[in-house]
Every structure is written in structure tokens, then in C-alpha cells.
Chains A and B, each alone.
Chain A
């Protein structure tokens, strides 16, 4: 009896320790896994009903209509999933996951370095794999993230991670993928402490700020075209933008700002440009398309930026852009952005409610985003040869009622769907059951 109590204490102790950190990352896939009978949402717009999905060593080997083929599943772990749905892992771009744990506690905040021009600042080394917020993404199907610094004119360099890892090296699936530029605003706030109207007014320095940026780009090109310079980390970090190694993510809203941003990028020979934000992009669709610009669209669940806008403008923005042939992904930045990132699937669901088909909407958080981030060769869709980063949901994963995950895999590793939150749920539910 006494022994039992001890064991209980020890177990409880372990439990409490377990509570402190993230779920233990899953080990490498050891045997082939077959998911049988599910509706497979490929992520490229197509669907396979009654599918057979087989993955081995972290890669998808087979994905077919199960009614058409007969395969020997011997030696495989078979997951019957008839009536269920399989999706590629959702990808949240332009996120600060793992950079801040608790907004109000400054000591946990690592998202915004001082100084206006920080291309050399790298998010990946601050990415906290033990974040409780990060693990809370997974039960909703969000399995990949682009971790992005904030602030300044050039915030820094992002990297792309998978959300089940021991450390940031483990987590990284593409390091230093892009540089993030906050485009100058057309509006500026009055300096109330000098007696000015505190409201927004046209930014008289806009052209100057553009010129400053231009000069910085020119300097970085000059620097990187020669090796005789004294070291300059900022200029050096810019090199990838011109040799296809890095994408320039320009955070811009408004027709004019976006147009200026795209022209700026073209003029300076930036190899790949993505617009983040994209308010107003719907008015310049053909321009964006002809310049091959994709858009990571502002959070869908927000109010229109102006009182006169259609109440559903943020909901239907994706539709307005997709209809013009633009590659669109969804991002989640804004207030409470980290914890809200787990609602990414519902942003896509709302985009479907306001015009897109469900499969088009799914693309916004899978293959489109993978393509925009340059990881589409390995992630973003359920296709042979790609990483087995996917999950099984009881129903439509874009609808909160049925986004209920039974299994999730990252690179074939079956990850835990438990979190700090599910543990508290179970613990306290149990408390009341035993009462």
C-alpha cells in the first residue's frame, strides 16, 4: 500500500515534470504506415475518396484511390480511416511562434530587435522548441511554420520549421529562407507631444524612406559584388536576395504601396518577391500576376480596415485574388498572433464560406504557402515522394466542429497530440469524475 503511494507520487512527479515542457518529440518513422479508406485532401485542389496512403522513412510512397488497387499491407502499421479525412500539415507563414511565450512578460519576448535595418538578425536561433504555444498548434493540424522577426524597416531573416523538435537545428526545414521588409506607410501619425493632431495623416517622408531603402539595396549589391570590403554583416545578409537563395517578403498594404514595392523589387533585381498583407491587392491583380507576385494574405478573421468597407471584405479577399490567378497563402499576424495561429484552418474555412471551394481554401494553407515559401518540393501536398507531414481528422478540418485530430505525422514521425492544455483538461475532468 505504502509502495503504491510512492509509485503514485513518483508518477505524479513525472507528470508534473511533463507539464513543464513540450511533448517529447517523436522518434523517426520505423515502419511503413498505411492509412486506409480516408478522404484524402491532396492540397493541390484535388480529392481522393476512399484513399490508400502509404508512407515509409518519412516519405509518401503511395497515394491512390483504394477502390482501384489492391495492395499487400503486411508488415505495415495500418490505420483504418474510413469516413475520416487526411490533410497535408498546415503551414503558418510570417509567424512569431517560438519567439515569444507570454506577451505581457518581457523576459519571454524575443521577436523585435532594435534598429531599423536588421537583415542579419536570424529568427531561427531564438526559436523555442519547448514553447507551450507551439505545441498547441498541432492538435489543429498546424504542423509547419515560418518563424519571422518583427519590427523595424527590415525586421530580419526568417526560417521555416516543423513543430515537433528537440532543438532549433532539428526543427529547421529551411534555414534563412527570406528577408522581411516592412514597406513605408503612406500614413504617419501626428506627434501629439508637439501639439500635432495624433490621427493618421499622409506621410510626407514616404519618398525619402523609399530612397533610403533604395540606397541600402544598392550598397548591399555593391558590397556583395566585391570581396575587398571591410566586413558588414547587414550588407552581407542581403546577398541571398539577388542569387535566388532568399525571398524578399515585403509587408505592404494598399494599392500604391504594393505597386511601389513590386516595382522597387523588380528594379533592384530581387530574385523572388512575396507580398505579405495585401490589403488592396485585389485592385491590381493583373499587375501582380504579370510580375509573378504571390500574396500572403492578412489574417482572415479581422474587421475591415475602413468603416465603409464591405463587412466581409477580409473574408472574401482570398477569393478576390484567387479569381485573378494569384497564388495566395494565409498568414495570421496581428493581435495574439501566436495563440491564434492554431485557428489557421478556420481562416481557410471562412475563405471557403465567402467564395472559394473548400479545396481551393485548403490550398491557401498548404500547397500555395509551401510554394510561396519555396518548400513545395517536400511539403504542402499529399504527393508521392513528398514528406509524410499530414494528419487524420474526424471530419472537415476547416470547420471547427469537425477539426478533431486522431493522428498527426511530421516527416513520417507520429507526433503527440497532447499539449499543456489537453493535460490540464484531462487532469481536471478526472478530478470532478472522482468527486
Chain B
């Protein structure tokens, strides 16, 4: 068909559809409804990822597919588009987008805000299920055009703001349509995330674990509301209940957060579809086990610019490996049978999408799955299989036409049709003019070399071995070429217009500088390989991927280590039992337990470890740690009993390994001290390489952090922090009395059988009242220590542990009488006013008064030297060596209610052991092996090998980056990661670490 005619036709169709709503008044002409057929003929039609018609016809009408096949009989009123053997693909669907929805505006202000800004909605501003993207939707034609060029014809968009973000909408990118026809679903899915809305400054939640707890409470509240128990109106919960049947899409953004989101969903029988982060391959078996459908971005990191040797030292092996391995993510997901859709989310430019996808394919990702993950899978996730995803009959006529396999680099996209509306990006009729031509003009013989894409042809013209200036434009069926004359004195031009319709020939006229016309006839040199494409810069080959380790950072295991039968011979054994310290003693470890203790032991299959002149002890237990967590404080309220550190364990923290190297085997990760009632603890074993859930102590006792003193009354938080109750120690008491009174009332209501609103916070406090959960309370001065014991006694329970407890020595007798233990620093003081009277003799005095006493760290560095900190009790107060050693082993085990399993060397207990080079409390002692349940997690000899391996791996990867850079890839500047060591007072603001 004539091109101009086609364009005119396009215009007609467009104008028709703009006024497509037939019952609307029409004031600019006569009615122009047109419901004829359109046939795309001579097409290789990818009907679906599975079904291809090699040379067929696609028949469409009113924006939908009517039929397809090889020998279709076309109705009379059919407009035919011959696409000359090119390929047709169903439009890609981007399932995660903010297309057409303006970015939320950040609320400003400086004073803290604890209450919600709204009324009639949920009590937390960050829960916004009542928000509907359609209310803010403005079709963005420019962005749509870019998406269309890159194969995306349908996007699912939403307002990317808030923890519950409300509904999104599904829109076909019909540039000539209107919101009356292009919006496929007004409420396509409901969206959730862990990050707060920027539109409100309401403080809660300040942490990832707070977001998780908030979601849980919200679901409970929604159910309670649905059952009609609320006396007031809550538009958020109503909307949430109404959105229940929609697909629930969770913005996790990383492998770890994906697991966290899934955990929350599972608790409420909701299977989220989860937006990942591209690093799922690192924990692929856990990701697979979620059974969640995933949405995966392919935002590959560029290589670092590693030329500066000093700067490049700060790139970690983990980051280098991530760069090397990232391309294999889709392959790993595919081969593990995870169902996932792809998204262009997080890409700086949509143009990078195809390149990144091709990279993934070069790592073994299959083209078939690529097509599925962009068409049928997103369609099915959104329950829109009957409308989009394939070109089967009855579905939207959303497709694009390409020059060939869409997953090949050289393939170009000519047209993209959405709801039957054509968008042209490249002339389907345009020819490939590249090659070398010869022609004669005015007696001179010329050579014309043409290269590049048809829209941006490059030309090189030579005559008489002289290179001439030239430029060319190819449009319609015409090539307009101008060249300078061979005359080197004055610069003159020859202008040529040539028709391209004839094969291998350019025929037209040339106008010489003098104005004379001459016929122009250039002939393609078909004999040589002149048509051969320039070699691609980088030959695409299967990339080599560095193996994943557990965890996938420096010092990880290539394979998860296993429990072994071990026989320690001839050790000095610190039993922590009535036997005391046994010299020249053997210890047999079997099936993860201590099997035998004695002399001259033997065992057939045991690995024998000569421990002559060495000391074998129980592993160190740190009662107060903040390592291995992605969040420590939920500071948004004065009580956060609903949050749990177990939700935010970070199994990749190098501190785990460094603590193992210091002989630590178990720790309690405590919530911080931002509020009087903190969050629940995680008690974990430092099983380096295992995933977060598997670190948690088996049958873990339940603990919660409380806190007293300056931190909870916000003394050192800055001058604006004066609005949250309590601001004094007096108020702190009232917080406790208030919460426990409410918990009691709550218990009574529960027991009465009447309906009640399930409250996670009060449930947790109830566990305390019922002696099922134990308190470890951050404390400094004697007055408040005394106070909390009295409050507990008035509610008929005991405080389990005072941690820090720096003035414990002043009330040790009262502590003993109450039955509370003390876990203290060896010698920290003077950092706050309330530690003025902190003394290093504290442990000794408490111990002498019969208080179960432990030495803790609260610090990632000190924890790896707790043996030395215990030794300080010998210096400060003259505690016996055996008792001092119990301060970091058996006593913290008692305080944590795990002493039946760990804390001493006794037959039947867990084989959590440390082999020391010297007396364990000597400054000169080194941990040589640290063993948990029979598994050697740290070995000083293996550590040496790992150092060598890390050096080797890093230089190999840096080399690879240099190669990548030299091959022309753009690079990213180096970033230095800082390790944030968390303490009690860390992170009053939110940290969403994406790991």
C-alpha cells in the first residue's frame, strides 16, 4: 500500500477511536464510526510463547483478535497490512510500574509526629489501602511511546508510596485511545511494601520489623472490622477488606525482604506476588520454598571503575561477586522452577531493558521463558489471561512487529499495535541498503559505502582514492545523498536523489555543482562480503559465573558444613560443672552432642584433634548483642512489644564470622533501648552460612527487651524530642503500670468469651504476665532498677535479667531477693550522666551477692573478645577464674533459659565448643576452632586458606572488570560500604537495608 495512504488511514483510525464512545455528542463533524476488519498478513505470528504460525494472518476487529491462521479467509471489509515475513509478538506486559502516577510529595517538618494525620482512616498514615491509582492517573503519552518502542504494550501501574499502597490499574498503552477504552482494569492488584509513605511524618514504624508488625496488626484489625465489631468507621480497613480478592503484590526489593514478606503473608493465608531485587540466586532454595510468584527486575550493576588501586580496595568480595553472578539470576530462577514475571522497574532507562535481558539470555536464560515472563505469566498473575498475554481469539490486539527474533540484538521493532491501533517506529518497507555501491558521475568513478541502521545511515564516498565528504538521508523510498566534489580547491556539492525500490540498485538524478542534471545509477557490489555486518563488539558467549558461597560474601562456605564426629585428645577441659577444670582429658563429639568426657577415649570414625596444651571450653554466649540484624530499634512508639528481631536477622553479617573467631557460639540479639517496652529478641546460634530462620535457637525461649533511663526518656535525642511520653523516670513507671494493667484487662476480656480485638502488643505483654516470655531490661541507676522490680512484683511476675545494670552493685541484695540476674559490661562508663557511678567491680559484687551474673558486649567488637572481658572480673573484684569464665558461658545460658542445652561441657549437651590455644581468659589466647552442634564453623587453619582464596577471587574479578571496561562497557564509581555497628541506641530512624 502506498505509504501516504497508510498514514492517512492511520489518522482516520485514530480520530475515530478518540471519539470512540458512540453515544457522545459530536460537534466537529459527522459521525465516523468504523468497525471494519484489519488483517496482518504474511506474518510469523507468535500467538503465544508456545505457539507460532510461520506464515499466517492475524485478523483483528474493534481492538481485539478475531482469528489467526495460515489460510484465513478474509471478510470483504478487511484492510490488509502485508508485513512481508516479519514477526508478530504479543505485547509485553510490565507488571510493576508507576506509569502515569505522579510521585508522592514528601511531607516536611522537623518536630516529631507520633499520631496519624487523618481521621476516619486507619491509625497509621502509612496504611493506605483506600488509595486508588486511578484517581491520580494521567496517561503519559511520551513515556508510553518509549515503552511501546521497547515492546511493552500493557503496564500495571500504581502509586509507589506507603506500606499499603492501595490498588493499581492495568492500562493498555493505546496512545490514540482514551481512559474510556485503554484501562483494562481499574483495580488490577493491591500493592504493599515495607517502606513508609513519604506523605506523612508519622513516626511509626521506624524499622523494618515495625513495618512487619504493623502489617500483621492491620490484618487482624481488618478481620475484626469485617466482623462488625468496630464502633467507628475506618475507611482504610474497609478498603483493605474490599481489595482482598485482588492479586496482592509486595514490593520486597531483595531476596531477604522477599522471604520476610512471604512470612507475613503466610501467617494470614495470603500469598503475595513478590517484587524481588535481582539477587534471588543467592538463596534460591528459600525463595523457591516460598511458592510465591515473583516479579524480577533486571537492573544489572555496571562494573566498578577499578583503575584506582587504592579506591578499589574498598570494594568487597561480596560486591564483586554480585556483579559477576547477577546475570545468572534469571537462569537460577528458571532452573529452580520459580514462576516469575519480568519488569523494567528500577531501570534508569527503558532502553536498558533489552540489553539486560540479552545479557541474562547469554547466561543461559531461555528465550521461551523470557517471552512467558513478559506475556503469559504477568497476565496470569493479574488474572487477565482472557484479555492479554497472547494473541488468541478474543484477546486484545496488542502486538508488535519485529524484523525477527525479538531476543536478538540486531532485531528491530517496526510497529506496535495496541487495541488495534498502529504505532509506527520504523518503516517496515524500508530496505536494508547497507553495502558497497559503485557509480559514475561526470566521468569520475565513485564508490559508496553504506552502513548503519536505515534511519541513521552512514556513508563513505571515495573517488580517485580521495575520500569525499558525504551525508545521506533515507526516507520513504528515497535516498537523498550529497557529496563534495573531488575538486580540492573549492568546496562544492553534488546532490543526488535516488529511488530504492529496485533491488540492489539506486536509481535517480544527480545535480552537479553547476546546476546540470545527470542520471544516477549506483549498483550494489553483491559479489564480495560487502553486505556482511560489522562484527559485534563483544561475541556473545556463555559467561562464567563464580560459584555461590554460603553466605555469598567473603569467608562463606562453598558447601554448607556438616556435623562431624570429633575426638579432642588430651585437652584442659573447662566443664563449668562440678568437675571443674579437667586436665589431660578427652571429649568425644557425636551427632552434634557431647557424647563422652574422660581419659583415653577412642572412637572409630572420629576425627581426632590433638588438644595437648590447649583448652576446650563451652562456647561463649553473649546475652546482649546487636550484630546480625537489619534493624535494632522500633522507636516510633513508647511500646513496641509487637515487633521481633527474629523478623530481621541478617545472616550475611560478617560480624557473625568475626564473633565465631572470638569463640562466640550463641547470642541474644536484643531490641534497642529507644522505648520503655522494646521488642522481642532473637536468640540465635552463629551458624555461619545457614539462612536467617535456621540460625534461631531450636525451641527458642521467648524474650523481650525493656529499657530504663536516659534513652527511653529521649534525653540525648535532641531538643525537639520532648513530646513522646515518658520524658522522666517517673513517667517510665507509669508506662509499665499502664500497659500491664491493660494486658490484664485484655486477658479478662479474652477469658470472658466476648469478642475482642486481637492485639499483638498486648498478647506479648500477656505472655510476660503468664511467665511465658522473659524480660531483659536495659538499666543503669538503682532507683529505676528497684522500681521495675516493684512493678513486676505488683503484677506477680519477675524480671528475668537486668542488662547493663551498671548500678546493680547498689541493689544486688534486692536483685537477689527478687530473683533477677544481671548481665553487665565489664568496664564501660562515663558516656552518659547515668553511668557516672558505673564501676568495673559491678559483676564481682553482684556475683558475690548470689545474683546470676554475666558479662555482655552490646558491641560487635567487644563480643569477639568476651573471654578477655570475663578476665577483667578477676582483676576488678577478684572473682575466681572458673566463676569468671561462667560469666560468659554458663551464666548467660542460665539467664537465657538455654542452660539445659548449652553453657557447659556435659554429656548430652549440644557440642558448642571452643578450642583455645591457651588459657581461655589469657590475653594471649586465640580461638582455634569454634564448633556448634558438632559443625566446625570457624577453624583458624581454614581461615588461612580462605584469606588466600579471597585474594585470588578478588583479583580475578577485578581483572574481569578491567576487561569489561576495556571492551567499552561503562562503569560505576566505587562506593565504600561502611559497617554500621549497632548498639542499644542505634537507629532511631528507619533503616531498610536491602540485602
Which chain A residues have a beta carbon within 8 Å of chain B's beta carbons?
101-105, 132-133, 186-187, 197, 199-202, 254-256, 301-308, 310-312, 336, 338-339, 342-343, 346, 349-350, 352-354, 398-404, 421-422, 424-425, 428-429, 432, 435
Nearest CB in chain A to that of B826: its residue: A400
- Asked if B187 is at the interface (CB within 8 A of a chain A CB), the reply is no
Q: What are the residues of chain B within 8 A of A339 when measuring CB–CB?
A: 827-831
Stretch among B16-24, B534-542, B968-976 lining the A interface: B968-976
- Asked if B839 is at the interface (CB within 8 A of a chain A CB), the reply is yes
With A197-B975, A401-B875 as known contacts, state yes or no: A342 contacts B827, CB within 8 Å.
yes
Nearest chain A CB to B348 CB, angstrom units: 14
Q: Which 4 A-B pairs have the closest CB atoms?
A: A349-B923, A200-B976, A425-B841, A256-B310
Provide a sorted-by-A list of 23 A–B residue pairs whose CB atoms are within 8 angstroms: A102-B830, A103-B832, A104-B715, A199-B976, A303-B979, A304-B658, A306-B313, A306-B316, A307-B654, A311-B864, A336-B831, A339-B829, A352-B924, A353-B923, A398-B923, A399-B923, A400-B872, A425-B844, A425-B877, A428-B812, A429-B845, A432-B813, A432-B848
Contact with A along B858-878 (1 / 0, CB 8 A): 001110110010011011110
Beta-carbon contact of B813 and A338 below 8 Å: no
Nearest chain B CB to A355 CB, angstrom units: 11
With A399-B923, A401-B921 as known contacts, state yes or no: A104 contacts B831, CB within 8 Å.
yes
Nearest chain A CB to B805 CB, angstrom units: 14
Contact with A along B940-955 (1 / 0, CB 8 A): 0001000100100010
Beta-carbon contact of A311 and B658 below 8 Å: yes
Contact residue among B813, B849, B868, B943 (Cβ-Cβ distance under 8 Å from A311): B943
Nearest CB in chain A to that of B313: its residue: A306
Contact with A along B834-852 (1 / 0, CB 8 A): 0011011100110011000
- Asked if B554 is at the interface (CB within 8 A of a chain A CB), the reply is yes
Instruction: Give residues of chain B (861-899) contacting chain A, Cβ–Cβ below 8 Å.
Output: 861-862, 864-865, 868, 871-872, 874-877, 881
Docked pose: A254 CA to B976 CA in angstroms: 13
Q: What are the residues of chain A within 8 A of B978 when measuring CB–CB?
A: 199-200
Docked pose: A113 CA to B657 CA in angstroms: 40
Beta-carbon contact of B314 and A306 below 8 Å: yes
Nearest chain A CB to B802 CB, angstrom units: 16
Q: What are the residues of chain B within 8 A of A343 when measuring CB–CB?
A: 827
Contact residue among A310, A349, A353, A354 (Cβ-Cβ distance under 8 Å from B947): A310
Docked pose: A65 CA to B654 CA in angstroms: 50
Beta-carbon contact of A201 and B974 below 8 Å: yes
Nearest CB in chain B to that of A189: its residue: B978
With A201-B973, A308-B954, A401-B921 as known contacts, state yes or no: A424 contacts B809, CB within 8 Å.
yes
Beta-carbon contact of A435 and B813 below 8 Å: yes
Beta-carbon contact of A202 and B974 below 8 Å: yes
Nearest CB in chain B to that of A302: its residue: B861
Q: A101-B830, A307-B654, A432-B813 known; 13 other A-B pairs, CB under 8 Å?
A: A197-B975, A254-B310, A255-B310, A303-B979, A306-B313, A310-B947, A311-B658, A339-B827, A350-B868, A350-B923, A398-B923, A401-B874, A429-B848
Docked pose: A104 CA to B862 CA in angstroms: 21
Beta-carbon contact of B924 and A312 below 8 Å: no
Nearest CB in chain B to that of A101: its residue: B830
- Asked if B73 is at the interface (CB within 8 A of a chain A CB), the reply is no
Q: What are the residues of chain A within 8 A of B661 when measuring CB–CB?
A: 311-312
Beta-carbon contact of A132 and B839 below 8 Å: no
- Asked if B810 is at the interface (CB within 8 A of a chain A CB), the reply is yes
Docked pose: A264 CA to B553 CA in angstroms: 38
Docked pose: A303 CA to B857 CA in angstroms: 14
- Asked if B666 is at the interface (CB within 8 A of a chain A CB), the reply is no
Q: What are the residues of chain A within 8 A of B950 when measuring CB–CB?
A: 308
Docked pose: A85 CA to B174 CA in angstroms: 89
Nearest chain B CB to A233 CB, angstrom units: 33
Beta-carbon contact of B710 and A104 below 8 Å: yes
Nearest CB in chain A to that of B953: its residue: A308
Residue of A254, A312, A338 ringed by the most chain B CB atoms within 10 A: A312
Contact with A along B797-835 (1 / 0, CB 8 A): 000000000000110110000000000000111111100
With A199-B977, A349-B923, A399-B922 as known contacts, state yes or no: A132 contacts B830, CB within 8 Å.
yes
Docked pose: A115 CA to B325 CA in angstroms: 47
Docked pose: A302 CA to B877 CA in angstroms: 26
Nearest chain A CB to B731 CB, angstrom units: 20
Q: What are the residues of chain A within 8 A of B103 when measuring CB–CB?
A: none
Beta-carbon contact of B875 and A403 below 8 Å: yes
Beta-carbon contact of A104 and B813 below 8 Å: no
Docked pose: A422 CA to B860 CA in angstroms: 28
Beta-carbon contact of A336 and B871 below 8 Å: no
Nearest CB in chain B to that of A305: its residue: B979
Contact residue among A101, A103, A256, A353 (Cβ-Cβ distance under 8 Å from B924): A353
Docked pose: A186 CA to B308 CA in angstroms: 11
Nearest CB in chain A to that of B816: its residue: A432
Contact with A along B527-571 (1 / 0, CB 8 A): 000000000000000000000000001100000000000000000
- Asked if B737 is at the interface (CB within 8 A of a chain A CB), the reply is no
Docked pose: A317 CA to B147 CA in angstroms: 55
- Asked if B311 is at the interface (CB within 8 A of a chain A CB), the reply is yes
Contact residue among A256, A401, A421 (Cβ-Cβ distance under 8 Å from B871): A401
- Asked if B200 is at the interface (CB within 8 A of a chain A CB), the reply is no
Q: What are the residues of chain A within 8 A of B943 when measuring CB–CB?
A: 310-311
Nearest chain A CB to B686 CB, angstrom units: 13
Beta-carbon contact of B311 and A186 below 8 Å: yes
Q: What are the residues of chain B within 8 A of A421 when measuring CB–CB?
A: 829, 839-841
- Asked if B981 is at the interface (CB within 8 A of a chain A CB), the reply is yes
Nearest chain A CB to B828 CB, angstrom units: 6
Contact with A along B578-601 (1 / 0, CB 8 A): 000000000000000000000000
Nearest chain A CB to B720 CB, angstrom units: 16
Contact residue among A350, A400, A435 (Cβ-Cβ distance under 8 Å from B874): A400
Contact residue among A199, A336, A353 (Cβ-Cβ distance under 8 Å from B975): A199
Contact with A along B331-357 (1 / 0, CB 8 A): 000000000000000000000000000
Q: What are the residues of chain B within 8 A of A422 when measuring CB–CB?
A: 841
Beta-carbon contact of B316 and A303 below 8 Å: no
Nearest CB in chain B to that of A19: its residue: B837
Docked pose: A133 CA to B829 CA in angstroms: 9
